[in-house]
Amino acid sequence: MSVETITFGCRLNIYESEAMERQALDAGLAGAVIVNTCAVTAEATRQARQAIRRVAREKPDARIVVTGCAAQIDPAAFAAMPEVAQVLGNHEKMQAGSWRRLADFGIGASERVLVDDIMAVRETASHLIDGVRGHTRAFVQVQNGCDHRCTFCVIPYGRGNSRSVPAGVIVDQIRALVDNGAKEVVISGVDVTSWGRDLPGTPLFGALVKAILRHVPDLPRLRLSSIDSVEADDDLLDALANEPRLMPHLHLSLQAGDDLILKRMKRRHSRTDAIRFCWDVRRLRPDVVFGADIIAGFPTEDEAMFSRSLDLVEECGLTHLHVFPYSPRPGTPAARMPQVARPLVKERAARLREAGDAALRLHLDGERGRTRRVLTERGGIGRTEGFTPVRFPGGVAAGEIREIVVADHDGRMLVAG
Ligand code: SF4
């Protein structure tokens, strides 16, 4: 009997679920169900509660263990659910000892909640995994937590302050994954560009990227998860310009296009910084593809401010747009600011998504007839180096890097010739 994990949220959670599943199994918790929650939006927390109730209905004997950012921020809310056997904090969930302890207690134990102060955590417990089941690309955690305090964000309260995994541990992890057949590794964390600040000599993120490519020469593709453009250092830009194995795809945490809104969000970049960064990177790496996170309807945002987020799509040449309708998170400064009416938040999110769809179609049109290297995945699809999805009409085996000529697209993904 195995341990099942239900994972919400980011790649870091996916990576951690992989590690937890093994630790829980090693501790003898077969039959347990781990719900690894996310707290970025109220909707994510609601879905986790819904999943817990569903599991309890479908598997009445299963021991349900809840963890992740929503559990870290509000453990009592999950402990109050009769369906929940135990609640584990984000630090505790990565300790083998926590799972052994849970195995010893059995259901109904007094210590149902093992959640410590995440702000007191100083190290990042990295785990050597040999792959991420069901995923062709392997996510590797290089950093956890965040030192910034953007006014809309609860992540630091779920993950604590920034802490880095030493470069040597990361290189060993990636080498093990490549030896195990991984064709692509995705560098993951909460604020990866702050990697190294807490390490001796305070190395910068670009140095880590170069070290990985130097020490794992047989790694075919290295991809970055989301980055904060204002923290991109010279080595990172140099690697983008000169390292073909570093994928020409950057997902930017832009959030808005208006300077006053960026200020009220406590972001560290201006509109001009964002646009200039994209132009500079495109000059260094002409085939680069940008994705970005943008929030619609941040408190105090008026129509003129919103239009500056809307036209950022074109100004920065964004292709893969992730749109977040603003969601007030309890305890954040933004939740206390004058709110934009809900219908307007939703309407603006829809207009941003339309702009994103139009930008994606423009990108897909431009890909027709081009030759692309694609990493194939399950389900007859794959991803280009620019992270654009590709469908293989005749099906394809997962885990291969194939050179294709793009025959067409269906408005959402390319079609391989
Ligand atoms: S940088 Fe800002 S948005 Fe990102 S995790 Fe940190 S506080 Fe949240």
Q: What pLDDT sits at residue 130?
A: 57
- CA gap 183, 236 in Å, rounded: 21
**Beta strands 249-255 and 226-227: pairing type?**
parallel
Residue of 150, 161, 192 to test ligand 1 pocket, by largest number of atoms within 8 Å of CB: 150
| CA-proximal residue: ligand 1, atom 4 (nearest) | 191
- The owner of tokens 């347990």 is 32
- CA dist 321 and 412 (Å) reads 12
Q: Which residues of 58-89 are buried (b: 16+ CB within 10 A; e: fewer)?
A: eeeebbbbbbbbbbbbbbeebbeeebbbbbbb
- 186 CA to centre of ligand 1 in angstroms: 19
Closest by CA to 224, choosing from 175, 194, 189, 186, is 186
CA-CA distances (angstroms) from residue 111 to 88, 103, 108, 358, 370?
A: 10, 12, 8, 52, 59
For residue 120, what are the CA distances in angstroms to 36, 91, 117, 159, 330? 21, 10, 6, 10, 21
Verify whether ligand 1 is closer than 6 Å to residue 295 (CB atom).
no
- pLDDT per position as a tens digit, 36-77: 999 988 889 999 999 999 999 999 999 999 999 999 999 999
Q: What is the DSSP letter of 305?
A: H
Beta strands in 180-337 (DSSP E): 184-188, 221-224, 226-227, 249-255, 289-296, 318-325
The pLDDT of residue 103: 75
- The Å distance, Cα 176 to ligand 1 centre, comes to 30
How high is the pLDDT of residue 128? 55
Cα–Cα distance measured from residue 339 to residue 318, given in angstroms and rounded to the nearest whole number: 27
pLDDT digits (tens, 9 = 90+) for 273-318: 999 999 999 999 999 999 999 999 999 999 999 999 999 999 999 9
What gap in Å lies between CA 16 and CA 22, rounded to an integer?
10
**pLDDT-based confidence at residue 127 (cuts at 50, 70, 90):** low
Distances (CA, A) of 244 to 130, 217, 285: 25, 12, 10
Residue 216, CA distances (Å) to 133, 142, 144, 220, 264 in order: 22, 16, 23, 9, 42
Task: Indicate the average pLDDT of the chain.
Answer: 93
149 lines ligand 1 (CB under 6 A): yes
pLDDT at 51: 97
Q: Is 246 in the pocket of ligand 1 (CB under 6 A)?
A: no
Give dist(CA 308, CA 312) in Å, integer.
6
Residue 192 backbone phi and psi in degrees, to 5: -60, -30
Q: Which amino acid is at 17?
A: S
Helix (H, G, I), strand (E, B) or coil at 121: coil
Distance 371 CA to ligand 1 centre (A): 37
What is the average pLDDT across 260-264? 98
Ligand 1 close to Cβ of residue 12 (< 6 A): no
* Identity of the amino acid at 261: I
Average pLDDT in the 199-204 region?
A: 96
223-242 pLDDT, tens per residue?
A: 999 999 999 999 999 999 99
Query: 128-137, 154-163, 212-221, 370-379: which has the minimum mean pLDDT?
Result: 128-137
Residues 164-178: tens digit of each pLDDT: 999 999 999 999 999
Q: Does residue 353 line the site of ligand 1, with CB under 6 A?
A: no
Per-residue confidence (pLDDT) for residue 134, from 0 to 100: 58
What is the Cα–Cα distance from 121 to 303, expressed in whole angstroms?
42
> Is this structure's pTM higher than 0.75?
yes
**Quick one: which atom of ligand 1 is closest to the CA of 266?**
2
Q: Which of 112, 73, 90 is nearest to 15 (CA)?
A: 90
Q: For residues 285 and 289, give the distance between their C-alpha atoms in angstroms, rounded to a whole number.
A: 9
Q: What average pLDDT score do residues 191-211 get? A: 96
Give 374 or 108, the one with higher predicted confidence: 374
Q: What is the pLDDT of residue 18?
A: 85
